Amino acid sequence: MAADTTVTRFAPSPTGRLHLGHAYSAWIAWSQAAADGGRFLLRIEDIDQGRCRPEFEDGIVEDLRWLGLTWETPVRRQSDHLEDYITALGRLRDRGLIYPCFCTRKDIAAEIAAAGHAPHGPDGPLYPGTCRALDPARAEDRMAAGEAYALRLKTDAGAAMAGPLAWVDLDQGEQIARPELFGDVVLARKDTPTSYHLSVTTDDHIQGVTCVTRGQDLFEATHIHRLLQALLGLDTPVYRHHGLLAGPDGKRLAKRDKAETIESLRAGGHSPANVWAMAGVSAEAMP
Ligand code: GLU
C-alpha cells in the first residue's frame, strides 16, 4: 500500500439510530476515500458506556450496509482499546501535563458563580482551574481514598511546550491551532479512562487515518486535537469539516430531537436511492 493512500473514517457513537445527517457524514468520508482510491473505515465511539447500547451499534452496521456502504474490517470499537488511551495518559503524566480533578458539575458552576464571570470556549464556560491548584500530596490522598476524579490537561503548559501549531482544513484552509480556547479539557472522565478528545486523536493515529471528515460542529475541537497530536507524537491528518444537514424546521438534525432515522425511512418504504437523495447525494455519487 502506498504511504500516501487516503484513509478516511466514519466514527459514530452508538447512542441512537442513524439519521440523514449521519448518512451524509458517512458518505463524505466514503466518497473522499473512493475519489482518491483510498480506504474507508468505520469506528464505533462507545466510551460513554452509560449512553451507548450494543443494539445501536448493530443498527449502525445494518443501516450503513442497507445504504450500500462498505468498509474495511475489523471495525475498531473504542471500549475494546482502553489500554491505548491509558498509555497516552501515562505519557502526558510523565511530562507533568495532567492533573486529577475532583470537581462535580455543581462545584464548577458554584466556582464560576462565585467568580462572577467565566471565559467561554466552544463547549461552554472554561474550567476555572480549581483542582489545578491542589497540593499534589492532598490530591494523592483523595485518590487513594477512592474519591472519583477526572484527569485534565494543563492546556497552556502543553501549548507552551509544543510551540506554534497549525492544521489544514481542505475546504477552509490552514488554521493556526488555538487549543487555549478550551482551557483545561478533560482527557479521562470520571467513569472511563479516556475522553472524546483523547480517544479520537489516538485512534486516528493508530488507524492511519490521513483525512478526518466530520461535521462543522467539531471544527473547533480540532484545535485541541492538534495539540494532543503534538504532545503525544501522533500523526496529523488533514481535515474536512462538512456542513450539517438541517431538518424541515431549519434546525440541524440531531438524535436527541428524534430526527427521522434511516430505520424509519426504510420501514416507510423508501429505497436507499431515495434516502441518499434526501441526504443531498445524487444518484451518480451514491455508493
Ligand atoms: N463520535 C463523534 C460523533 O458521533 C464523531 C467524532 C469525530 O468524527 O471526530 O459525533
The pLDDT, as a whole number, for residue 1 is 45
Nearest-atom number in ligand 1 for the CA of 214 is 8
Q: Determine contact, residues 84/192, Cβ cutoff 8 Å.
A: no
pLDDT in tens, 208-226: 999 999 999 999 999 999 9
State the average pLDDT over residues 72-81: 97
**Which domains, from first to last, does the chain contain?**
1-76+248-287 (3.40.50.620), 81-244 (3.40.50.620)
Given a contact cutoff of 8 angstroms between Cβ atoms, the answer to whether 92 and 195 are in contact is no
Most informative mutation of 7, 41, 45 for ligand 1 (most atoms within 8 A of CB): 45
Q: Is the CB of 218 under 6 A from ligand 1?
A: yes
Q: What is the mean pLDDT of residues 62-75?
A: 97
Helix (H, G, I), strand (E, B) or coil at 190: coil
Nearest to 180 by CA among 152, 158, 201: 158
**Mind listing the pLDDT tens digit for each residue in 156-182?**
999 999 999 999 999 999 999 999 999
- Residue 11, ligand 1, Cβ within 6 A: yes
Inter-residue contact 183 to 119 (CB < 8 Å): yes
pTM: 0.95
pLDDT at 2: 47
